[in-house]
């Protein structure tokens, strides 16, 4: 099997019980609405949902590969400056597809990768103390080209580069990924002549991982960007059918919708039984939360919709979260990420054949224990009436990760239709951005600042 596979047996009422599971009738009743939802999403492919076409953007891939080949061997570090959809995919891809020790032991002249997706002075300050900007390529990524966090990072690192390499020499250390014409970052590209890539129209931040946003840093650190796209194409083609039981994206969207609407499970846990896939859970958390978490539905009615995404890692969280998952409130459903074949075979030595407490481990492989723990958790959840499904990756490679990314993007778009919310805007995020601009004294935001100051007059209660 080189396709990822979704097993949702343990979400069904026949297995998990009527109170917490989905009945056949409920599932079947969604076949029509889900097909309609898929058609509505796909109809926008050439209009405002251009991310649907990203897996086929061969010319963009070629451009990225040419640039990567040109700069190969020139930098010790690649630093992504970006946040949200401009960062999470990169962290997820790097964790999934490079060695966990890549940065300590970069293979064959490849650069290290750092994704600095925060403006905590201790994060940036430490990086600046430990690394040499003159050996670093900075990929500044911002769809809007004006996000305060990313722009402040850019200003900081540009200044350091200019100080060290001069106004001319610093330029080859910056490559920008942003909108083709909008935003201050694009204006700066024009002024400075930086190399740049485009986040196409119709590709929002959290749907941009298969654009240059995710492909460029990937190619720079040795990830097979072509295979990522090939996996996404495979999933796209698998999801062409409007038959619910054969379309993984429709199925996953319907399961999410039913889990929340009829089974009262507002919390969606992605439980990765793969250390390498753990940050796919973070990437998905943003995709789900920003897309479906909405105050208003499409007609403008207040709905306060949205599941709460949670991310857990097996086996680590068996010794942290699983107690709650098995015995706590019945407010969660689980997607286990499983991997059929790990890259490494690590035998467990016998050590002490006479000691029963360790001899059952000796002679087995670490993968056997990992699988037993995963299956043990699945059994414990199921027996406790906790609905769970499993997404199995044949291996963690660029092809399967590409499948996963596209599957989840399409599923979330279909969810938007089922929840009847706009899955592609983020007014809640914008509200925070505007408040931050006002507090930083940005021109044009004076009245918002006055409102905030007025509202913060109540007596503080601190202890």
Beta strands in 8-148 (DSSP E): 77-81, 112-116, 136-142
Does the annotation mark 433 as catalytic? yes
Token pair in block for residue 38: 């898929």
Residue nearest ligand PA5, CB atom distance = 205
200 or 376: CB nearest ligand PA5: 200
**DSSP three-state, residue 396:** coil
Q: Pick from 42, 94, 143, 399 the residue near ligand PA5 by CB under 6 A.
A: 143
Does the annotation mark 399 as catalytic? no
144 binds ligand PA5 (CB under 6 A): yes
**DSSP three-state, residue 26:** helix
Token pair in block for residue 284: 């998905």
CB 138 within 8 A of CB 159: no
CB 396 within 8 A of CB 370: no
426 binds ligand PA5 (CB under 6 A): yes
293 binds ligand PA5 (CB under 6 A): no
Ordered DSSP codes for 153-186: HHHHHHHHHHHHHHHHHGGGGEEEEE-SS-SHHH
142 binds ligand PA5 (CB under 6 A): yes
Residues 305-344, one symbol each (x = binds ligand PA5 by CB under 6 A, - = not), give ----------------------------------------
Binding residues for ligand PA5 restricted to 155-214, rule: CB under 6 A? 204-206
Catalytic-role residue among 143, 149, 290, 294: 290
Token pair in block for residue 434: 């505007």
Site size for ligand PA5, by CB under 6 A?
15
- Alpha carbon distance 247, 7 (integer Å): 12
Catalytic-role residue among 130, 299, 319, 344: 319
Token pair in block for residue 130: 């430990």
Residue 142 beta carbon to ligand PA5: minimum distance, rounded to whole angstroms? 3
Checking phi first, is residue 179 left (phi over 0); if not, alpha (psi -120 to 50) or beta? Answer: beta
Q: How far is CA 424 from CA 34, 51, 85, in A?
A: 18, 11, 12
Binding residues for ligand PA5 restricted to 73-102, rule: CB under 6 A? 83-86
Does the annotation mark 319 as catalytic? yes
Residues 26-65, one symbol each (x = binds ligand PA5 by CB under 6 A, - = not), give ----------------------------------------
Note the residues at the interface with ligand PA5 (CB under 6 A). 83-86, 142-144, 147, 150, 204-206, 290, 426, 429
């Amino acid at each position: 099997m080189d396709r990822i596979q979704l097993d949702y047996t343990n979400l069904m009422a026949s297995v998990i019980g009527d109170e917490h599971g989905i009945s056949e009738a409920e599932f079947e009743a969604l076949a029509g609405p889900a097909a309609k939802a898929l058609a509505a999403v796909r109809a926008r492919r050439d209009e405002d949902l251009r991310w649907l076409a990203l897996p086929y953007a061969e010319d963009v891939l070629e451009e990225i590969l040419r640039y990567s080949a040109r700069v190969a061997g020139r930098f010790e570090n690649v630093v992504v400056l970006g946040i949200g959809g401009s960062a999470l995919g990169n962290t997820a891809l790097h964790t999934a597809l490079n060695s966990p020790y890549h940065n300590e032991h970069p293979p064959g002249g490849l650069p290290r990768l750092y994704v600095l997706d925060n403006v905590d002075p201790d994060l940036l300050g430490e990086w600046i103390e430990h690394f040499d900007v003159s050996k670093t390529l900075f990929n500044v990524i911002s769809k809007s080209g004006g996000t305060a966090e990313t722009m402040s990072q850019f200003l900081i690192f540009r200044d350091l580069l200019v100080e060290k390499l001069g106004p001319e020499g610093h330029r080859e250390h910056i490559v920008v990924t942003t909108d083709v014409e909008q935003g201050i970052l694009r204006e700066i590209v024009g002024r400075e002549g930086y190399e740049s890539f485009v986040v196409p129209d119709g590709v929002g931040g959290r749907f941009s991982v298969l654009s240059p946003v995710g492909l460029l840093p990937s190619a720079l650190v040795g990830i097979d960007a072509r295979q990522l796209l090939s996996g996404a194409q495979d999933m796209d083609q698998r999801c062409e059918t409007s038959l619910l039981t054969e379309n993984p994206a429709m199925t996953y969207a319907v399961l999410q919708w039913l889990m929340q609407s009829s089974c009262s499970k507002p919390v969606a846990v992605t439980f990765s039984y793969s250390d390498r896939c753990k940050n796919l859970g973070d990437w998905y958390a943003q995709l789900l939360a920003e897309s479906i978490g909405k105050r208003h539905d499409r007609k403008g009615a207040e709905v306060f919709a949205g599941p709460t995404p949670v991310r857990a890692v097996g086996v680590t969280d068996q010794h942290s979260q699983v107690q709650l998952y098995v015995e706590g409130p019945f407010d969660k459903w689980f997607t286990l990420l499983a991997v059929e074949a790990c890259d490494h075979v690590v035998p467990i030595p016998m050590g002490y054949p006479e000691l029963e407490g360790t001899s059952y481990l000796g002679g087995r492989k670490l993968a056997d224990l990992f699988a037993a723990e995963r299956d043990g958790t699945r059994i414990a959840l199921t027996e406790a009436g906790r609905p769970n499904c499993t997404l199995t990756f044949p291996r963690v490679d660029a092809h399967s990760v590409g499948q996963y990314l596209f599957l989840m993007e399409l599923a979330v778009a279909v969810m938007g239709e089922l929840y009847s919310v706009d899955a592609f805007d983020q007014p809640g995020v914008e509200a925070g951005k505007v408040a931050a601009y006002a507090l930083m004294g940005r021109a044009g935001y004076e009245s918002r600042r006055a409102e905030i100051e007025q509202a913060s007059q109540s007596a503080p209660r601190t202890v």
